A and B are shown apart, each in its own frame.
Chain A
Amino acid sequence: MARTYKVYSIEDGTVIDHIPTPLALKVIRILGLENEGIMTIGIGFNSEKHPRGKDILKIENRELSHEETNKIALIAPDATINIIKNGKVAEKRQITLPSEVRDILSCPNPNCATNKLGARKHFVLENKGTVTYRCRYCERATVVNADMLTKK
């Protein structure tokens, strides 16, 4: 049976909806918000887009920048962003894949300079359709998956 949301509405902040279950915690990691402020997480809601369900994330008192929200597209390209001000939706935002990604993705090539010599992790977008990025250092192209997120 479909049920209504049991996630509190927020007064000010950012709501990220349509995250495929169970990636909400990984979205928090991509945004680097593990230890910042109040967040409400809903996991496994019914969704037409996502047969396994969707997650929703509400971040209080923090308006995410476009640069930040675009990073979400790396693992949840269908996610939607609402910026909430005074209890109302002030902005509905589309996300697009960032042309370059630094620090948050690890290169899967064990012999890459980012893994062996301490080079800063840096990927460049190769193909939007397949979400493929090329490592700036070892130059290998990889389809991004959640396992590539750097461990903190």
Chain B
Amino acid sequence: MVSFNGRSIVSIRDMSHDDLIKVVETTKRVKHGELSGFLKGKTVATLFFEPSTRTRLSFESAVFKSGGSVFGIANPKASSQSKGESFADSIRTVSGYCDVLVIRHPVEGAARMASELSSTPVINAGDGANQHPTQTFLDLFTINESFGRLENLKIGMMGDLKYGRTVHSLAHALALFGNELTFISPPSLQMPENILKELDDRNVKYKSVADLEDAENCDLDILYVTRIQKERFGDPQEYEKVAGIYRITQETIRLLGEGIRVMHPLPRVDEIAEEIDSMPNAIYFTQAHNGIPTRQALLGLVTGGLD
């Protein structure tokens, strides 16, 4: 039986098929109010070495809703690191003050390193361009909530697939369940070769297309949209060209099929028109809200409050 007690959540790569199912099932029970108060007497430290209001508030809300206490830093300038304390010493010290450590850091691998130094479990809330596993868990939960399954789905991923860690981790996780993937991006922002290689190794069916129109006959169940960052383009004109092509409107929904569900890790800029927000196809705000029960479930599982 899968147990998370005492275990750190660093990367989706560490997770088996059964691990992912366990988290999704536990999240469901938390969301439906079957489990509560499981962090009573537990203290959670949130160490955010780079700003991320949304993720931090979501973790703090998750702690309060589960009956726990939370403290931490939201600004690296306010920490001892600004006095020259090493990262390793900060982790060793703070891990003695809490039952679980939630960490966000701009350096890739910082959470893995913290998990090796910490006396308590570590949850990675984002390490640079590498991993953001709690985002992937909430994405999986949202997919399961909408479709009642995690397998045999046709999922399109659109936007910045080269630098977007969200889509890398999600593709990795979905590969464990047997889904068909369609990657929609401009040539300069395609899914990296090494991720495609991994999908090949797992015999995952996928294809890459440049235009949203090419995805019309893919019969997609889900379109996962990510933001294309302006700063990735040297030429602003090139950006404008691309940004225009990858904009979801009511017309797009009609072309892709009325049953399609649109997801987005947020924040969005203008890649999804606001007219979509009130349509039943838009599930990105539900997705964002699912961050709370997902993080509640993970905090409960690693501290032993849930099993």
Contacts and interface: CB of A to CB of B under 8 A. Distances in A.
A148 interface: no
B182 to A, nearest CB: 24
Contacts of A141: 194
A112, A137, A140, A141 — most chain B CB neighbours (10 Å): A137
B113 interface: yes
Given A112-B107, A112-B108, A119 B13 contact: no
A116 to B, nearest CB: 5
Nearest to A137: B109
Interface string A64-108: 000000000000000000000000000000000000000000000
Given A118-B88, A141-B194, A136 B112 contact: yes
Contacts of A112: 107-109
Contact of A117 (B11, B88, B131, B194): B88
Tell me what chain A mostly uses at the interface: helix, strand, loop, or mixed: loop
A8 to B, nearest CB: 46
Contacts, number: 52
A117 B117 CA distance: 12
Interface in B101-156: 106-110, 112-113, 116, 127-131
Interface residues of B, number: 19
Contacts of B109: 112-114, 117, 119, 135-139
B269 to A, nearest CB: 25
B113 A137 contact: yes
A111 interface: yes
A150 interface: no
A113 B11 contact: no
A145 interface: no
14 contacts: A112-B108, A112-B109, A113-B107, A113-B109, A113-B127, A117-B86, A117-B87, A117-B110, A118-B87, A118-B88, A136-B109, A137-B109, A137-B113, A139-B109
The 8 closest A-B pairs by CB, nearest first: A137-B109, A113-B109, A138-B108, A119-B113, A138-B109, A116-B107, A113-B113, A117-B87
